Amino acid sequence: MSLTPTIYIVTVVSKFRWRLKHCGEGDGKMVRWLKIVVFASLVTLAWGQGNSEPSDPRDKELQQLRERVAALERLVQLLKEELSSLKLNGAAPQSQTQLVALQQQTEEEKRKLEEELKRELQGVTQPPAPRPAPPSAVYGGGLWQALNPDTSVIANFRTGFRGKRPFASFAGSEFSEAELAFQAATDPFSRLDTFIAVAPEGAEVEEATLTILDPTFIGLPRNLQIRLGKLLAPFGQLNSIHPPEQPFVDSPLVHRLWFGHAHGNHKHGNHNHRKRNHQDEEEHKDEHEDEHEEHINGAAIPSEGLFTGAGLSLNWLVPTGRHLTWLTIAPLNVDNATFQTNSGRPAWLARIRHFRELSPTQTLNLGLNYAFGRNDLNKDTRLFGIDLTYRWRPLREGLYRSLVWQTEAYWGQRDTGDGTVKPKGWFTMVEYQLSRTLFLGARYDFAQSPDKSFSGRGFSLAITLFPSEFGRYRLQWNRLKIGGQTVHEVWLQTTFSIGIHRPHPL
């Protein structure tokens, strides 16, 4: 189109420039060339919309792009006009998807008509066709996909800065993990949930649970739910949530100290790590002192603590009027800083959970927890816990406002052979929703280590942004005082999930 003359003129001008260098002054040829130059530059100016240096290749490109955009704009306008004239005749489809739907409607109509005619031809009147099958497009990925488990990946990237004073001499530390979740009904009577945490240190099965959904199938009462496998221990409310979905970057101190692994400084791949630690002990006996120091100042205690165990859980639902009560008993094999049950005797856990409806917008959840098992000294340890969760979400503004206030307190009784150590720990945290996408969280927590050798307390503030349900950015500030040392931490966390992730139960 209009591009061709411009290119031609540009070529002429550059040719002339080359010539100018090779010509003597006052040459007759020169006058002729000058005429061409004047003409060409006038034309170029007119075409190039005041572009003073049309020979620059970048400007040339820009010019070409402008022309193309203008052409496309005209095309879009043309198409728009055509489309709107079409819409005036038709039933006003609004988008590609609606056109598809409309097409399906006509298909449906055709099919109906065909059936109608068939019936008339046979001379038999039948009742209207029952339940036509839904269009297969509804299932998106096709029918075969419907049999695949709900699969999701949660990628969790964290960057932390730690120092003795706020915003000064911070040491950086990075951490990232991915959580893979596979969840599906195995048959009409049971379902399988698998959560695998993958970190640079290795992969760990966080949860792999078979839930028997219909116990009547094996002759048990209907309100009884049986779970088998590696489970999240029924101890407290926060422990029912996988770390990437918890409201803070790190777990509360009591979870980190009590339910993190006893020896490793990271919960993942703890066996390898423990081996390495033993080697370190032998090889660098001098450095061990420093390591121990670090262990207490907060940098080396695991940033996450999740109480998990392998075994069985029986959960009985007691509906009581408008409210609900659950009773859970679980014998579990546990390996963490509080319990070590490799000896073959499981830890026994019991939990009573009462879920109350205060009003259509407010609920209260109260839990009483008990655990009994063996510790690393192969002596008895008992845990007692109480948890309280208050939730508020208004009906109309539910998309924009909500509040969750969660408090848990634990007491331990650890037999050491020559006495009983009684550590304590608790946390309280509140998360308030400021807008559709913005959440503000605050947490205060305190914990003594299981052997009561040191204690820590912390205050945390977190701002979380949810641009959509599948992405999340979080900035968190911690002021920790562990073993007498004050540490400031700043965490930046980005979490993204892909795939179908089942919403959290209650």
Interacting residue ranges for other proteins, rule: CB under 8 A: 87, 91-92, 94-98, 100-101, 104-105, 108, 130-135, 137-141, 188-189, 191, 211, 213-214, 216, 219, 222-225, 317, 319, 321-324, 355-357, 360-361, 363, 391, 393, 395-400, 402, 436-437, 467-470, 498, 502-506
The least distance separating other proteins from the CB of residue 335, rounded to whole angstroms, comes to 29
Q: 55 vs 494, which CB is nearer to other proteins?
A: 494
**Residue nearer to other proteins on the CB measure, 227 or 261:** 227
B/e letters for 26-63, b = 16+ CB within 10 Å, e = fewer, are eeeeeeebeeebeebbebbeebbeeeeebeeeeebeeb
Q: What phi and psi values does residue 59 have, to the nearest 5 degrees?
A: -65, -35
Instruction: Give the span between the Cα atoms of 19 and 24, in whole angstroms.
Output: 10
For 76, 77, 78, 79, 153, the CA distances from 82, given in Å and listed in that order, are 10, 9, 6, 5, 44
Cβ proximity to other proteins, 4 vs 96, nearer residue: 96
- Let me know: does 315 contact 347? Beta carbons within 8 Å: no
State the minimum distance, in angstroms, from the CB of residue 122 to other proteins.
23
Q: How far is the CB of 102 from other proteins (least distance, A)?
A: 9
Could you tell me the smallest distance in angstroms from the CB atom of residue 469 to other proteins?
A: 5
Measured from the CB of residue 392, what is the shortest distance to other proteins in angstroms? 9
Nearest-angstrom CA–CA distance, 268 and 265 = 9
Angle at 349 between CA 344 and CA 354, to 5 degrees: 165
Q: Which SS3 state, helix, strand or coil, does residue 71 take? A: helix
Q: Which is nearer to other proteins, 355 or 370 (CB)?
A: 355
Q: How far is the CB of 457 from other proteins (least distance, A)?
A: 32
**Residue 342 or 435 having the CB closest to other proteins:** 435
CB of 373 to other proteins, least distance (A): 28
Nearer to other proteins, 326 or 410 (CB): 326
Report in angstroms the alpha-carbon separations of 392 from 379, 397, 435, 462, 500. 43, 11, 15, 19, 26
For the bound state, the minimum distance from the C-beta of residue 240 to other proteins, rounded and expressed in Å, comes to 12
Which residues, 6+ apart, have CB-to-CB distance to 160 below 8 Å? 172, 173, 174, 175, 249, 303, 489, 490, 491, 492
E strands, 420-484, in order: 420-421, 424-433, 438-448, 455-468, 471-482
Task: Pick between residue 7 and residue 399 the one whose CB is nearest to other proteins.
Answer: 399
Name the residue nearer to other proteins (CB basis): 5 or 398.
Answer: 398
Q: What type of residue sits at position 20?
A: L
Quote the least distance from Cβ 297 to other proteins, whole Å.
40
Query: What is the closest distance, in whole angstroms, from the C-beta atom of residue 255 to other proteins in the complex?
Result: 23
**Closer CB to other proteins, 109 or 293, in the complex:** 109
Beta carbon nearer to other proteins, 26 or 503: 503
Q: Are the beta carbons of 378 and 347 closer than 8 angstroms?
A: no
Q: Which two three-digit tokens encode residue 476? A: 């968190």
In degrees and rounded to multiples of 5, residue 81 shows phi and psi of -60, -45
The continuous run of DSSP H or E covering 160 comes out as: strand 150-163
Q: How far is CA 283 from CA 166, 270, 294, in A?
A: 36, 20, 18
